[in-house]
Amino acid sequence: MTNRLVAVGDDFTLPAAVKVVDANLPTRLGNTALNATFVPKWKATTAYLAGDKVLSPNGDVISAKANFTSGASYDPANWDLSASVAGKLDKTEAAASYVAYAPGPSGGDDTTALAAAIAAAPVGSRLILKQAAYSASALTINKKMVLDATGATVTQTATGATAKTLLTLSADGAEVRGGTWDGNVSNQTSSNNGIVMTGQDNRCIGVTVQNTKFFGIQARNARPIIDDCFVSNTGYIGIFAETSGTTLTGGRIARCTVDRSMLSAAAIVEGGIKVHGHSDTDRYNNFQIISPVVYLPITPTDDTTLPVEIMWSYNSTITDAITTGGTLGISFADCYNCYASGRTISPSQYGTELARCIDCTVTVTTVGNGVTAKGIDVNGNGTSARNTLLGCHVSGTTNIGIHCESGVVGTQIIGGSVNMSIANSAIQFTNCAHAASTVSGVRLVGNSVGTKAVMLDGTWGVSVVGNAISNFTQNAVLAYATTAVTLDLIAVVGNTILSTPNNALASQLSGGATLGNGSKSFANPGTDWLNFGADQRLLTGLTGAPESAYAGSPGSLYLRKDGNQGKTLYVKETGTGTTGWAAVGSKLSIAVKTASYTAAVNDAGSVIIANGASLTVTLPDPATIGNGVYFVKNINSTALTVATAAGTIDGAATVSLAQYGAGRYISDGSVWRVI
């Protein structure tokens, strides 16, 4: 092709010999005049011959039935629809701009008239219902088209035991917009649905579905788009997408509200919005549930009453959910790499559940209001792994705040808070064995009723790092076991612990259970500084004597910041419980007693001076004190009796000290000897 410059006249016209024709455009564009293949618009008071083709006012290509002259207004009785005309899009291609109006309601059953209007609409067209009240049953859209029912109401006419779906979208791409679709539930004795979608990429936009005996909106083996819909008073699940025998990718439920709160807690069955596969080979993947709002009865009897649930899915999301009531606010089951966020209010069992899930993340808030058992539950019989609870907030539960149970591995609990209102654990791991999990940056508030900030029940391999723990009645972290197991690799580090007694890492072990040498706690302001493992600790910054207050194994050290001479350093000499501590000092501690006195274990190494009439000083059980020494002196004019809580003193039950008499009493662990 040769490129040429062409001169243009002053009036911007081309020379007569020049034609501009692009090889990529139809040849007819190079013609100098219109030809017969172009269809003119219909005109009033115009003579037409039989077979003449024009474009009707509503966009159809039509053909004159006979010779006639048109009147002042278009009369479709004089014209036939034409399939196609050369030079113009045929009717199927032009259907995107084709709009038809369905007949108005008849006052009786409108099923036949509406079905005929749907049948007459071409593929890709839009059929509009009048803003009126229709009665119909078992309507079907079996082609790609839009049924626009905005402002209309369609009420189910089928009654009794005849189970019928009000509207079915059976063709790929079929769409319904707007309208109120009423299942007439008061006249139903069998299951009936509102809208059922069986084609791929069906759309249900801005509709209201109410009063159905069964589903409100259901997608069967379909990839639906369900946006801005309102579903209420359904006998079964409000919005349900289900795949069986195949795996589907995609689908969306966005900004939809399901309200089933008007049903009784005893009668309601199933929940609000559910996306459900059936196995690892028939899943919904990459499905989105966006900003759902679900209302269900508080404390329902049926434990399947779940507001929002995705089951058997990869890479799906539930975002910005708001749920009230039901049993589980948000639930993932058998899911991989899924994400959920939102707020759950007053579910009866769990605010959020991850059951048998891998690599899932949730950012949720649960407000239990005293009816929710657990804020978050992660479970899975050994099949849940690497899940993350990120910035979750839990309050008002009746049991545990966050619970990981039944062999879950790799759970990361990061940020957020648990605010307790009952005597239980804020976070608990139960029977997770080597959990390889982390609790980090969480604010755990016991409110003087919560017992343990973190409880590790038959669980080890957990790091509790950098949390703010306050006002628990028992422990910050408790390692607990009743069978022969070693709870090892537990790290409690850098937590701020306030108004919580006992050590940062305490243990309650029986049945042969032990705390492994790899379990350590250190740098926890407000409680112990360093745990050497196997319950051997260095405790610092504490007040009062450790006896009967702090546990540890022999060799543990306790530094008392309010101690005095001879009572600032204590060593654990016997036992693994809270008794067996002995003060260690460079100078003797002296105590004057004016009444009879029973010496305590932590009095060992001190001088007891009696200055009262006929007093008795009783030494501890030698088996309790082990190897220990007490100094006793009497300065009163009456005799002093020295007795023992058990055993003998040089073979006698008691000894007597006259005025200014003194004795040094040494225990060998079984009896007392006088030196």
- pLDDT tens digits for 167-203? 999 999 999 999 999 999 888 777 789 999 999 999 9
pLDDT exceeds 60 at position 17: no
How much is the pLDDT for 25? 45
Instruction: Let me know: does 273 contact 308? Beta carbons within 8 Å.
Output: yes
Instruction: Let me know: does 256 contact 228? Beta carbons within 8 Å.
Output: yes
H helices of 209-256, in order, are: none
Q: Which of 39, 63, 91 is the last residue of a domain?
A: 91
Q: Can you read off the two tokens belonging to residue 223?
A: 């990839």
**Mean pLDDT across the stretch 428-437?**
90
Residue 177 within any structural domain of the chain? no
Question: Who's near 118: CB < 8 A, 6+ residues apart?
Answer: 102, 127, 139, 140, 141, 145, 147
Length of the chain: 675
Residue 118 within any structural domain of the chain? no
Which range (103-117, 198-212, 336-350) has the least confidence? 103-117
What is the number of structural domains in the chain?
2
Instruction: Let me know: does 437 contact 454? Beta carbons within 8 Å.
Output: no
CA-CA-CA-CA torsion sign (120, 124, 128, 133): positive
Closest to 600 measured CA to CA, from 578, 581, 573: 581
Residue 337 within any structural domain of the chain? no
* Mean pLDDT, the chain, whole residue set: 86
Task: Tell me the pLDDT band of 547, cut-offs 50, 70 and 90.
Answer: confident
Q: Which of 91, 117, 135 is the last residue of a domain?
A: 91
Q: List the Cα angle 619/621/624 in 5-degree steps.
A: 125
Measured distance between the N- and C-terminal CA atoms of the chain, rounded to whole angstroms: 126
Q: List the Cα angle 178/182/319 in 5-degree steps.
A: 55
CATH number at residue 609: 2.60.120
Task: Tell me the pLDDT band of 439, cut-offs 50, 70 and 90.
Answer: very high
Q: Can you read off the two tokens belonging to residue 329?
A: 């606010």
Instruction: Let me know: does 330 contact 362? Beta carbons within 8 Å.
Output: yes
pLDDT exceeds 60 at position 490: yes
CATH number at residue 83: 2.10.10.20
DSSP states of 577-608? SS--EEEE-SS--EEEESS-EE--GGGTT-EE
pLDDT exceeds 50 at position 23: no
* Strand pairing report for 79-81 and 61-64: antiparallel
Residue 67 within any structural domain of the chain? yes
To the nearest 10°, the Cα dihedral for 288, 289, 291, 297? -170
How much is the pLDDT for 151? 94
Task: Tell me the pLDDT band of 98, cut-offs 50, 70 and 90.
Answer: low
Task: Tell me the pLDDT band of 88, cut-offs 50, 70 and 90.
Answer: very low
Which helix H or strand E contains 333, and what residues bound it?
A: strand 328-336
Instruction: Let me know: does 250 contact 226? Beta carbons within 8 Å.
Output: no
Which helix H or strand E contains 117, and what residues bound it?
A: helix 111-120
How much is the pLDDT for 329? 94
Full residue range of the structural domain in which residue 60 is found: 27-91
Closest to 17 measured CA to CA, from 27, 26, 7: 7
SS3 554: coil
Place of tokens 């053909």: 63
| Model confidence pLDDT, tens digit, residues 332-353 | 999 999 999 999 999 999 999 9
DSSP states of 268-291? --S-SEEEE--BTTB-EES-EEES
pLDDT exceeds 50 at position 576: yes
**Mean pLDDT across the stretch 354-382?**
91
Residue 50 within any structural domain of the chain? yes
Which helix H or strand E contains 115, and what residues bound it?
A: helix 111-120
* Strand pairing report for 557-560 and 536-542: parallel
Per cent of the chain over pLDDT 90 is 56
Per cent of the chain over pLDDT 70 is 88
pLDDT exceeds 50 at position 360: yes
| Model confidence pLDDT, tens digit, residues 617-632 | 999 998 888 778 889 9
How much is the pLDDT for 93? 44
- Full 3-state SS string of 178-205: CCEEECCHHHECCCCCCEEECCCCCEEE
Distance from chain centroid for Cα 109: 46
How much is the pLDDT for 297? 94
Task: Tell me the pLDDT band of 603, cut-offs 50, 70 and 90.
Answer: confident
Q: What is the pTM of this model?
A: 0.70
pLDDT exceeds 80 at position 142: yes
Q: Which of 91, 107, 123 is the last residue of a domain?
A: 91
How much is the pLDDT for 91? 45
pLDDT exceeds 70 at position 5: no
Report d(CA 449, CA 208) in Å as an integer: 46
Report d(CA 36, CA 202) in Å as an integer: 40
| Model confidence pLDDT, tens digit, residues 32-73 | 444 445 678 899 999 999 888 888 887 778 889 999 999 999
Report d(CA 422, CA 401) in Å as an integer: 10
pLDDT exceeds 70 at position 24: no
**Mean pLDDT across the stretch 224-250?**
94
Distance from chain centroid for Cα 378: 10
**Mean pLDDT across the stretch 146-162?**
88
Residue 583 within any structural domain of the chain? no
Q: 39 or 596: whose pLDDT is higher? A: 596
Instruction: Let me know: does 413 contact 440? Beta carbons within 8 Å.
Output: yes
Task: Tell me the pLDDT band of 2, cut-offs 50, 70 and 90.
Answer: very low
Residue 621 within any structural domain of the chain? yes
